[in-house]
Chain A
């Protein structure tokens, strides 16, 4: 019997100032709560990995996810990927030492592709994930840097192939133009990228209904699906409002008020749905 590898379901958490945030097209940030609560809840429900991205690290020249990484690594026994503003070998080392299993790189390797090559040599290919942020403008695909803020005139498919040549272990593909909208994935570009490399590809950006996730799994060779809005909005109803915060908490207050129905175990629900639809799931 052929042992088919299960699809990985990966909650992706964007963090700013120590809080879980969520945006649309990677912008317009709403505070949703303490990321550790979410991570712990997702782990309990059977998430296969967790991905933390420090949302503004490239812009301000900071990199301070260590606290979360360590806390997560200690109590949550699934792989943790970390990214956002990783710019030096020292940053990578610090993240690994804090407890990260995979390091995600984007802006730095666009500026300096050799950094990717050297990082893989130093730390091992399997531990370096390249993030590709792709966006669609007037029918053409480009890539972006700094969490969707800078447009770069490079074709994502050739960039994916270059990333593979340079030694990365995995690709995390975010469709910026679909991100946060909950209107489905961009199957066209996801398929193209998956077919252009041998690397495992994680698709992110667009999950709104369970059927969206089923569609991307059935119509492409994705190795995993990363999900933000769909998970966080359901789960934020289970937790109290954060006591100390900076940022826009208005949405959260209103949303919690309007949606008193608590404790929807969204990851469990999703996994059961996928299993019923014959998808190999852990």
Chain B
């Protein structure tokens, strides 16, 4: 099944990996840098994630992509996938550096990871725990994480998987209707990541 995919380029990302992945999976993929490049027939928007929250939001506004993404997601109820920073942007706010407003599609906030004995930031592979039917075959499989912040959804039932970090449960993926987010990078998580990504496209 081929989807029309639009990958949002926030100008400091590695969108290359996600783009390559979509192409390898035979999807009609376009990279979008501003509102002029946005095709209203797009079926899935991917918000990839590398970088700072405030810079990303600033770019979304200055390129007028904020409005396009809002219309696509909230008005037309079409699919959006946020990865890492992209997942964090889906929420209402983030405390990175100072208080920043996010896209607000999901209720909750973004805060620093808890401090403890483990290294900070969280960099490397971790096993996810999931009870979701859709993600059953990925339970206890390793995915790649690289982040200093975590998403804290206000609605717990949108959390679809978590990891352990400093003995606390950290949200590693969410799903609410047409909105999906992964804190980990499926495009960087080897063969399991590819499989999960394929799964998310369905």
Chain A interface (Cβ < 8 Å from any Cβ of B): 2-3, 5-6, 8, 43, 46, 48, 69-70, 73-75, 77-79, 93, 96-102, 121-127, 169-170, 198-201, 221, 223-224, 282
* Interface membership of B194, Cβ < 8 A: yes
Interface size of B by CB at 8 A reads 42
Given contacts A96-B50, A124-B85, A200-B123, contact A77 B16 (CB under 8 A): no
Kindly identify, within residues 1 to 53 of chain B, every residue whose CB is under 8 Å from any CB belonging to chain A: 11-17, 20-21, 24, 50-52
| B125 in contact (CB, < 8 A) | yes
Give chain B residues whose Cβ lies under 8 Å from the Cβ of A43: 190
Name B's A-contacting residues (CB within 8 A). 11-17, 20-21, 24, 50-52, 55, 85, 97, 115, 118-121, 123-127, 142, 144, 146-148, 163-164, 167, 185, 187-191, 193-194
Q: Known contacts A2-B167, A122-B12, A126-B123: does B144 contact A79 (CB below 8 Å)?
A: yes
Distance A6 CA – B163 CA, assembled complex (angstroms)? 13
A3 engages B188 (CB within 8 Å) = no
Interface pair A169/B12, CB less than 8 Å apart: no
- Say whether, besides A3-B164, A122-B55, A223-B123, A79 and B20 are in contact (CB < 8 Å): no
Number of contacts between A and B (CB, 8 Å)? 122
**B23–chain A nearest beta-carbon distance, Å:** 8
Closest to A129 in B: B123
Is A3 within 8 A of B148, CB to CB? no
> Is the pair B187, A77 in contact by a Cβ cutoff of 8 Å?
yes
- Residues on the B chain within 8 Å of A199, using CB: 119-121
| Interfacial chain A residues near B147, Cβ < 8 Å | 126
Nearest A-chain residue to B123, judged by Cβ: A200
Whole-angstrom CA separation of A223 from B145 in the bound complex: 13
Inter-chain contact B14/A2, CB cutoff 8 Å: no
Per the bound structure, the CA–CA distance linking A17 and B181 in Å amounts to 40
Distance in Å: Cβ of B50 to nearest Cβ of chain A: 6
